[in-house]
Amino acid sequence: MLQDARGLAPLHIYMQGDSAFRQQKNFLCNLLQPGFTGGVWALDQYARIMEPISGCYSPELGVRVTHVDNSCCNTARLAHLARTDADPYGSPNPPAWRPAGVGSSSSSGNGSSSSTQQVPEHRDTTLVVFMNCGLHLMHLGEARPFECLPEQYGYMRVLRDFSDTAARLYPRSPQVFMTSNDICQSSFRGTYHDALANMTRDPESLVRQCVALSNNVTVAGRKLAGNIAAITAACRNGLFIGESARLLRERMLMAVALLRRRHHGRAFVSSSAAAAAATAGGGGRRLAHNGGGIDGVAPGEAGVGSDTAADGADEDDSGAGGAHAHGPQLRQLLAAQHGAAAAAAAAGKTAATTAAAAAYDSVRHPQQQHEMEVEALLAEGAGGSPVPPTTVDVVDGYAITAGQCWASQINDGRHYPYLVPMQVLELISVLHRRLLSSPQQQHRAATMHTH
């Protein structure tokens, strides 16, 4: 229906993300190009796992999909399409991407400003940059060492830089972020299960393991190596559990709110994703930054509710979190994450508590950390060259998967093959509203379709 409404104007979905995105790419490509997965179940998480870059193209619909494996939001990998306007399998017409300054952005349907250089509308490919990283920003100590520790520590800055780089490489291209899948610990078996069992006996054990394994340039990077407080914060907030996935969602929504505030554009998030978040969280709560006017959406935006995911999934053990294993014992760790600041105040901030807070900046309430992260980004602004204006939307993958352990496979707990079609439909829903959001664009699409 999206392409029919757009008059079959060429569309390229450029996916930069981890294995969750590979699943979505395989599902989409199996629809656009039957047999794409070679007889393997299109939703199998291991289908075409050895291909760091892959894609497909449907000439009948004018839709191209390209996925680049990018688990840590590495900005350098965004440049894949900037090096060529050809698909990995040849040089199709229309091109997979048209370099900046060529073509009319008014025909691309993204609502951005127009270029003076005109080409026929049917040849101007709309490139949508679809981005995510999260699953590889979490650890389980020795059982699952950190892969992207610096990205966990500075997640909002990473997302901002990822968006800014995409906007510079692909001007006038709409952007869509996806919040990462929930983590279902009850599906864990083997070493992952054993690591969580040990953590229930000693809630800090995995944090200590992580700090010992990560305090080096290889894992923590040059900027964080030796910074025990920063590494500890990343290790504690980045445990491979559902609570950490929820915190990543909060931080992404805040980062997107900052980006939207800069670009002055309204973001679309499907109503079903927002409803799923509210259901999973027992009503949810607003993600608020008390000093910066951030409440899940940029100041002045209308339509909060059915069109946005400002109301987050705020699970407790009776909500989505109740589906996870090790309930009573695991609460010890979650209490350390969420209640340390209040506990310190109640204890009168003894000398021991003060010393612990100095050693571990992660003992602050996560929401306080998030607000500090927001304040830092607001203070420093965008770095580097000017950032072209763009639109930034959200597919709330976390809301769709929160608490849905039935849809994940045993010994996995982070992929949800039976919910991948829902995530893809959410993306299409967001694109439908974004690319056909103005009467002029809808009229143009209808006119093209009649010719």
The mean per-residue pLDDT over the stretch 27-56 comes to: 87
Is 376 part of a structural domain of the chain?
no
User: Is 380 part of a structural domain of the chain?
Assistant: no
Q: Is residue 308 part of a domain?
A: yes
Closest CA to 146 of 104, 206, 223: 206
Integer Cα distance of 214 and 138 in angstroms: 12
Please, which pLDDT band fits residue 16 given cuts at 50, 70 and 90?
very high
Given a cut of 80, whether residue 180 has pLDDT beyond it is yes
| In a domain? residue 215 | no
CA-to-CA distance for 83 and 246, rounded, in angstroms?
36
SS3 87: strand
> Would you state the pLDDT for residue 262?
83
User: Residue 422 corresponds to which amino acid?
Assistant: M
Contact residues for 100 (Cβ-Cβ < 8 A; gap 6+):
170, 171, 172
Q: Which amino acid is at 81?
A: L
Q: How confident is the model at residue 364 (pLDDT cuts 50, 70, 90)?
A: low
The tokens describing 293, both together, are: 């006017």
Instruction: Report the chain's mean pLDDT, rounded to a whole number.
Output: 74
The per-residue pLDDT for 154 is: 93
pLDDT at 344: 41
Q: Give the amino acid at 391.
A: T
Q: Is the pLDDT of residue 403 over 90?
A: yes
Q: Are 187 and 195 in contact (CB under 8 A)?
A: no
Please state whether the peptide bond connecting residue 94 to the residue before it is cis, i.e. omega within 30 degrees of 0.
Answer: yes
Q: What is residue 383's predicted lDDT score, i.e. its pLDDT?
A: 59
The residue assigned the tokens 């974004």 is: 434
262-274 per-residue burial string, b: 16 or more CB within 10 A, e: under 16:
bbebbbbbbebbb
* 423/291: higher pLDDT: 423
416: tokens are 């949800």
Higher pLDDT, 173 or 347: 173
- What pLDDT is attached to residue 268? 62
CA distances from 109 to 28, 80, 168, 449, 450 (A): 21, 23, 19, 14, 17
Residue pair 149/238 in contact by the 8 Å Cβ criterion: yes
Mean pLDDT of 175-200: 94
Query: Is residue 104 over pLDDT 90?
Result: no
User: Does residue 368 form part of some domain?
Assistant: no
Structure tokens at 44: 């199998």
Are 390 and 174 in contact by the 8 Å Cβ rule? The answer is: yes
Backbone angles phi, psi at 414, to 5 degrees: -135, -15
pTM value surpassing 0.85: no
Cβ atoms 131, 166 nearer than 8 A: yes
Averaged over 386-391, what is the pLDDT? 88
Residue 54 near residue 37 (C-beta atoms within 8 A): no
Give the chain's domain count.
1
Maximum CA pair distance of the chain? 77
Query: Which residue from 48, 53, 80 is spatially nearest to 69, judged by alpha carbons?
Result: 53
Rounded CA separation 281/44 (Å): 28
Percent above pLDDT 90 for the chain: 43
Asked whether the predicted pLDDT for residue 399 surpasses 60, the reply is yes
Question: Residue 64 domain-assigned?
Answer: yes
Share of the chain above pLDDT 70, in %: 64
Kind of pairing between the strands at 311-312 and 285-286 = antiparallel
373 — pLDDT class (breaks 50, 70, 90): confident
Name beta bridge partners: 10. Answer: none
308: tokens are 């946005």
CA 100 – CA 82 distance, rounded (Å): 9
Cα pseudo-dihedral 291, 233, 194, 320, rounded to 10? 0
What pLDDT is stored for residue 86 in this prediction? Answer: 52
What is the amino acid identity at position 241?
I
43 pairs with which residues across the strands?
A: none
Q: State the amino acid at position 34 in one-letter form.
A: P
Query: Would you say residue 52 lies in a domain?
Result: yes
The pLDDT of residue 139 is above 50: yes
- Would you say residue 365 has pLDDT above 90? no
Gap between the terminal Cα atoms of the chain = 18
Helix, strand, or coil (residue 102) = coil
Helix (H) or strand (E) holding 234: helix 228-237
Q: Quickly state the pLDDT bin for 50 (edges 50, 70, 90).
A: confident
Please provide the DSSP assignment of 275-292 as one string: HHHHHHTTT-EE--BTTT
Q: Is the residue at 352 inside a domain? A: no
For 274-327, write each residue's pLDDT tens digit.
554 454 444 333 333 333 333 333 333 333 233 343 333 333 333 333 334 444
User: E strand or H helix at 129, and its extent?
Assistant: strand 126-131
Q: What domain range is 56 assigned to?
A: 2-136+151-182+241-323+385-450
Question: What is the pLDDT at residue 179?
Answer: 97
- At position 416, the amino acid (one-letter code) is Y
Residue type, 328: P
- Span of 113-122, 175-184, 219-228 with lowest mean pLDDT: 113-122
